[in-house]
Amino acid sequence: MNLRPLPPPDLSRSLILIVEDYEGMRVILRDILARAGASRITLAVNAASAINQLERHRFDIILCDLHLGQGKNGQNILEEARHRALLAPHAVWLMVSAEKASEMVTGTIESRPDDYLIKPITETMLFSRLSRQIAKKQALAPIEIALREHEYLKALRLADAALDKANPHAWDLKRLKAELAMHSGEHGMAKAIYEEALSLRNLPWARLGLAKIHFNEGRFDDARRELKAITDGNRAYLEAHDWLARTLDRLGDPDGAQEVLQRALATSPRAPLRQLHLGEVAYRRGELETAARAFQNSIELARNTPLKSPQAYLALSQVQLARNQSDAALRTLSTLSIDLSDDPAARLLSEAMQIPVRVQTGELDIARELAQRLAGELREEARHLPPEAAFNLAAPLLKLGDKATAGALLGSLISNNHEHPEYLERAEAIFADAGYAGEGRELLQGAARAATDIMNRGVKLSREGKLKEAIELTREARRTMPNNARLLLNHAFLLIAWMERHGREFTLNDEARRCIEQARKLKPGEKRAGELLTRLELIGNDFEVPA
């Protein structure tokens, strides 16, 4: 029996971008698309021209080659486009490559294009993939639009409305609904979807969803069981490996965490965040060579992407210092100031972290001059510095006699992390090693008490119905504790309670959302953050869902 090929999709109204450095391939793709009626086709020969076009137009379809010569590759372009919201909700992104090696294929799939095509590309292959992805994207587009507007509850209701009808994309919708439920703190709803999926088939994404619920609710043994069930039989499901490594870390098994990360990186090494995690685990285990290599890899892989941050540079400089490679540590800090030249915080860190290097090499005069010049800025910005930077700076500053700056750094660190007893213990040990045990204990425990007292006062005022006073109290506290997740969520709670009584106000709504999003960055998976987002969205909304 002869099977008739599916008709090509109608691309006559589609705006299409082809990103390909080889002219012959550009012509082939353009000609194939023209046979489906495509006439609005834009060509880009490299990453710079592709980004320029993405900034100017909202394309319906992007065909992007993975390898584009020097500079950014197709994966980098996709990451930047997503980070900068340059893609329309319905846009279909097909990654194209002649590369068949599993490492490259898996690495590209990790960047989550809608599909991956290996050359040579036939008309049948391209049209079948496009038809499937276009239909799926159109079905999910209203939900994606709601997500971009941070209307998570509306997105949930749109998903329910779509599922009330016969839908060929039902399980795509259910999977998205479960993710939305997780984001909104509705763990029970998400769990029900994952368990329903697993009752039908052994679906890794559903098992991973259950593992995330267990992890976020502190059931790490249960999370490990689910994740092992995925990773033991699926070497390429790399997100599950990342979560397993995180889980083993929380269970006090850094050896197992490192083994899992190295196994995942053997499959797909071009993952900057996974390299960073490996470096952190290896550093704690004392494997400095492995840590240095992983941090260097993370820096190189993130350099041309939105994932670039000071963290890997600072970690690498500390590893180099631990290996007595002071010149290399200084070069790494110099590279940080160059690579993140538009980030004032990175500039401060690149200078300040030279202080521990100079102290270790005995260049105390240089270290003292740096400390004196940066003291005011360090005290002012203490609340914004990464915890490891504060810890690594405090001991050298105490050695130089600058108790005030060291105290400001560690005091601010404890205020922002007053629910982390391990931070308090570590900070007290730094003061004790410098001969200031009593002073340090009094300062740090005072900072922890002050943070707790503010929380308690805010709760008391709220219970007494004095919302305005409670909001002013927590708003003022945020200026000194901008990275205290509990304070951020308490402040958001008060703002939401105020608007539930008096009506939505744009400035208060924006302030509450920023607090919740910052808390979620500090404590990913925090259930209370999702619950507050739902309450915030409900204020003044009736959520009309199209029939």
Report pLDDT digits (tens) over 261-311: 999 998 888 789 999 999 999 999 999 999 999 999 999 999 878 889 999
**What does pLDDT average to over the chain?**
91
* Domain-terminating residue out of 148, 183, 202: 148
**Predicted local distance difference test score (pLDDT) of residue 4:** 52
Whether residue 239 lies inside any domain: the answer is no
**Predicted local distance difference test score (pLDDT) of residue 138:** 86
**Predicted local distance difference test score (pLDDT) of residue 235:** 77
Whether residue 232 lies inside any domain: the answer is no
Asked if residue 431 and residue 397 are part of one domain, the reply reads: yes
Q: What's the pTM?
A: 0.86
Q: What are phi and psi of 19, to 5 degrees?
A: -110, 105
Q: Give the range among 89-103, 200-214, 505-519 with minimum mean pLDDT.
A: 89-103
Average pLDDT over residues 393-404: 96
**Predicted local distance difference test score (pLDDT) of residue 100:** 58
Average pLDDT over residues 323-346: 96
Q: Is the model's pLDDT at 167 over the cut of 90?
A: no
CA–CA gap between residue 176 and residue 70 (Å, rounded): 36
- Copy the structure tokens of residue 54: 């993405």
CA–CA gap between residue 269 and residue 254 (Å, rounded): 20
Quick one: angle between helices 344-352 and 326-339, nearest 10? 170
C-alpha closest to that of 274 among 260, 255, 289, 292: 260
Q: Is the model's pLDDT at 113 over the cut of 60?
A: yes
Whether residue 327 lies inside any domain: the answer is no
Asked if residue 76 and residue 21 are part of one domain, the reply reads: yes
Asked if residue 453 and residue 498 are part of one domain, the reply reads: no
Report pLDDT digits (tens) over 430-444: 999 999 999 999 999
Whether residue 500 lies inside any domain: the answer is yes
**Predicted local distance difference test score (pLDDT) of residue 103:** 46
CA–CA gap between residue 30 and residue 225 (Å, rounded): 49
User: Which of the two residues, 300 and 109, has the higher pLDDT score?
Assistant: 300
Domain count, the chain: 3
Asked if residue 19 and residue 102 are part of one domain, the reply reads: yes
**Predicted local distance difference test score (pLDDT) of residue 237:** 83
Q: Give the range among 35-39, 117-121, 408-412 with minimum mean pLDDT.
A: 117-121
Whether residue 322 lies inside any domain: the answer is no
Tell me the pairing of strands 15-19 and 40-44.
parallel
**Predicted local distance difference test score (pLDDT) of residue 118:** 86
**Predicted local distance difference test score (pLDDT) of residue 6:** 61
- DSSP per position, 261-322: HHHHHHH----HHHHHHHHHHHHHTT-HHHHHHHHHHHHHHHTTSTT--HHHHHHHHHHHHH
CA–CA gap between residue 481 and residue 448 (Å, rounded): 11
Average pLDDT over residues 383-409: 96
Domain that holds residue 494: 484-547
Asked if residue 547 and residue 440 are part of one domain, the reply reads: no
Indicate the residue type of 196: E
Average pLDDT over residues 365-393: 95
- Split at pLDDT 50, 70, 90, the class of 8 is confident
Contact indicator for 512, 520 with CB cutoff of 8 Å: no
Asked if residue 472 and residue 391 are part of one domain, the reply reads: yes
Whether residue 398 lies inside any domain: the answer is yes
Asked if residue 117 and residue 35 are part of one domain, the reply reads: yes
* Domain-terminating residue out of 148, 168, 186: 148
Q: Give the three-class secondary structure for 536.
A: helix
Q: Is the model's pLDDT at 90 over the cut of 90?
A: no
Asked if residue 134 and residue 54 are part of one domain, the reply reads: yes
Whether residue 291 lies inside any domain: the answer is no
- Copy the structure tokens of residue 86: 């340059």
CATH number of the CATH domain containing 116:
3.40.50.2300
Q: Give the three-class secondary structure for 93.
A: strand
* Domain-terminating residue out of 131, 148, 165: 148
Asked if residue 144 and residue 32 are part of one domain, the reply reads: yes
Percent pLDDT > 90 in the chain is 72
**Predicted local distance difference test score (pLDDT) of residue 295:** 98
**Predicted local distance difference test score (pLDDT) of residue 525:** 82
- Split at pLDDT 50, 70, 90, the class of 1 is very low
Asked if residue 464 and residue 524 are part of one domain, the reply reads: no
Asked if residue 472 and residue 408 are part of one domain, the reply reads: yes
Within a 10 A sphere around the Cβ of 546, how many other Cβ atoms?
6
Q: Give the three-class secondary structure for 118.
A: strand
Q: Is the model's pLDDT at 143 over the cut of 50?
A: yes
Asked if residue 134 and residue 40 are part of one domain, the reply reads: yes
CA–CA gap between residue 236 and residue 257 (Å, rounded): 17
Whether residue 296 lies inside any domain: the answer is no
